[in-house]
């Protein structure tokens, strides 16, 4: 199945310019991956399913937040942050599909940030900022309470991820965390972090990614109360000593 038809299964009608952007992104990823180890997935077909479509599947969380259809969400110029973006997932596919999104990509590794900035430049994406920082430092600095939507895939277990992301959200903002199998244990372990950081579990949505034979879930968390100033703790601490 081609990307256009697969994306349609997710409810997204990608236009020719968007499909061309995905193709260019794929070529750049393969090219840079020869020199720097950006991703272990670099087979062209696997990039499409495991990276592009899996990233796009995060959009399925949006209608579950407030019942608005996806096409309405995609018109909103929200401020989104992808924490631990790596080679750009899920943030850059979302930006291609959602041009109005004002996107910030936070990534701790410099060489990945160089790739991210290069990809943003060659794809001609507007309103994308690449921040080479630890999420903890960004959350105690210029990123604090600035975002409507936080996204993350394959970055940390939920208690740690909540400490990375909730400080970045304004009150009333949302976290969409992409997970594999139903993350029941992570959710149980995250109760203390939710209470402490001002989060409220809203929903866990099972999604099917076209062409991907893997269980996928989206964990949706609301920023329901302010995060105390002491959080996030110093860089490295949320991972070493998760709340709870």
Positions in the binding site for ligand SAM (CB under 6 A)? 84-87, 89, 106-109, 112, 134-136, 153-155, 164
Closest distance to ligand SAM from the beta carbon of 108 (Å) = 4
Which residue number, 68 or 158, has a Cβ lying nearer to ligand SAM?
A: 158
Region of 86 please: left (phi>0), alpha (psi -120 to 50) or beta.
Answer: left
Closest distance to ligand SAM from the beta carbon of 95 (Å) = 14
Which residue number, 155 or 220, has a Cβ lying nearer to ligand SAM?
A: 155
Which residue number, 13 or 154, has a Cβ lying nearer to ligand SAM?
A: 154
Q: Angle between the 16-35 and 110-123 helix axes, to the nearest 10 degrees?
A: 150
Contacts of 160 (CB under 8 A, 6+ apart): 238, 239, 242
Residue nearest to ligand SAM (CB): 86
Closest distance to ligand SAM from the beta carbon of 171 (Å) = 23
Closest distance to ligand SAM from the beta carbon of 72 (Å) = 26
Which residue number, 152 or 204, has a Cβ lying nearer to ligand SAM?
A: 152
Closest distance to ligand SAM from the beta carbon of 138 (Å) = 8
Q: Is the dihedral of CA 143, 56, 177, 47 positive or negative?
A: negative
Closest distance to ligand SAM from the beta carbon of 144 (Å) = 14
- The DSSP annotation for 163-197 comes to HHHGGGEEEEEEEEEEESS--HHHHHHTHHHHHHH
Which residue number, 55 or 196, has a Cβ lying nearer to ligand SAM?
A: 55
Distance CA 209, CA 58 (A): 10
Which residue number, 64 or 233, has a Cβ lying nearer to ligand SAM?
A: 233
């Amino acid at each position: 199945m081609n990307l256009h038809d697969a994306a349609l299964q997710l409810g997204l009608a990608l236009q020719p310019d968007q499909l061309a952007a995905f193709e260019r992104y794929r070529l750049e990823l393969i090219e840079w991956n020869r020199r720097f180890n950006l991703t272990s997935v670099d087979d062209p077909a696997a990039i499409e399913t495991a990276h592009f479509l899996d990233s796009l599947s995060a959009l399925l969380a949006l209608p579950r937040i407030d019942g608005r259809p996806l096409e309405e969400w995609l018109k909103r110029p929200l401020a989104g942050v992808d924490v631990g973006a790596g080679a750009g997932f899920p943030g850059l596919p979302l930006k291609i599909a959602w041009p109005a999104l004002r996107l910030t990509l936070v990534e701790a590794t410099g060489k990945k940030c160089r790739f991210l900035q290069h990809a943003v430049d060659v794809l001609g994406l507007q309103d994308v900022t690449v921040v080479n920082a630890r999420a903890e430092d960004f959350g105690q600095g210029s990123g604090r309470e600035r975002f409507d939507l936080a996204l993350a895939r394959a970055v940390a277990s939920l208690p740690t991820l909540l400490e990375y992301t909730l400080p970045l959200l304004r009150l009333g903002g949302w976290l969409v965390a992409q997970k594999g199998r139903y993350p029941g244990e992570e959710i149980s372990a995250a109760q203390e972090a939710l209470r402490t950081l001002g989060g409220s579990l809203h929903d866990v949505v099972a999604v099917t990614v076209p062409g991907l034979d893997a269980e996928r879930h989206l964990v949706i968390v609301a920023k329901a109360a302010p995060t105390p100033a002491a959080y996030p703790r110093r860089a490295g601490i949320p991972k070493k000593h998760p709340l709870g």
